[in-house]
Homo-oligomer: A and B are copies of this chain.
Amino acid sequence: MFFHRQELQHTVKPNQPDAVYARKLQEVLGGQYGEITVAMQYGFQAWNIHIPGKYRDLLYGIGAEEFGHVEMLAIMIAQLLEKAPLGITEDAVQNDPTVAAIIGGTDVQHAIVAGAGARPVDSNGNPWSGAYVTASGNLLADFTANANAEMQGRLQVARLYNMTDDAGVRDLLAFLLARDTMHQNQWMAAAAELRAEGAEDFPVPSNFPLKQEDRSVSYQYLNFSDGPAAADGSWASGPTPDGKGEFTYHDGPTTTAPMPPVTHPDSRFYGTTELPNVVEKAAGVVQDKLNKE
C-alpha cells in the first residue's frame, strides 16, 4: 500500500516561470530514464521478486521515494508554466521576436492539452511508455539495469542544471543529483553483494550451465570492423571479468557457415517462388481466359 503526505522532500519553487525550460524538464519526469521509469521499474521488480528480505526491502524503499520525485518534478513544471503566454495573439506580441522565440521552444500541449500543467511525456512530447521498464526476475541483471538508469538519469539532470540559471530550479536539481548519486551507489553495492553472497555471478544468468553454450567462442573478440586499436584494450587479451576465461583477439569471424537454402512456404501465401509460379501462372492464364469467356 502507498500512503501520500502533502509535503515534499525538498523545496520546489522556481524563481520565475520559464515555459521553455518546463518543456526540457519533462525529460527527467516522463522520458526513457525519467522518474516515472525508475519508480515503476523498482515497483515491478519488488512485486515480482522471488526472495523476501533485504533486496525486496531495498526495492520498496527506493521505489516509493521515486514516486515522490515524480511528484516534485510535476509540481515544478506546473510552476514553470504559470505565466506562460498563451501564444502569438491579440496581445500585440506577434512582432516581438523574443516572444515568438519563446513560443517556439515550448511544448504546445502544455498549453492546449494541460492548460499549463505537467504531462506524463518526455521533452519531445512522446508519452511515457511501459516499454521503458526492465524487470526480469534476475536481480544481478536488474540491479545493473537500475545502475544504468540512475547513470543516464543523473547525466540528464546534470545537463539540465547547465541549461538554466534559475536558482530555485537549480536548488531542486542539486537535490535530485545527490539522490541519483546515492541510488547509483546503492545499486552498485547491491549488485556486488549478490555476487559476494554467491546468489548470482557473471555472466548473467550464472546458473545457466556454461557447458551448454558454445564455449569455443565465449572469449573471442571477433572484430567485424577495421579499427586496429580495438586490439589494444583489456577486452582483447588477459583474463575476463567473469573470472572464467582469457580474451583472445581475431580480425573478423573465426567460424562461418553457408546460407541455408531459401524457404518454400505454402503457395497460398502467394509469395514469389520460382518454378511453382511458372506452372501456376500457366494455369492462371487459362483461368483468366475462362474467366473472360
Contact = CB atoms under 8 A, between A and B. Distances in A.
A153 B201 CA distance: 16
A21 to B, nearest CB: 8
A8 to B, nearest CB: 5
Q: How many copies of this chain does one complex carry?
A: 6
Interface string A256-279: 111111111111111111100110
Contacts of A201: 281
B40 A120 contact: yes
B228 A57 contact: yes
Contact of A123 (B112, B140, B241, B242): B112
Contacts of A51: 262, 272-274
B162 A268 contact: yes
A100 to B, nearest CB: 4
A90 B270 contact: no
Interface in A111-144: 111-141, 144
B175 A204 contact: no
Interface in A51-71: 51-58, 60-65, 67-68, 70-71
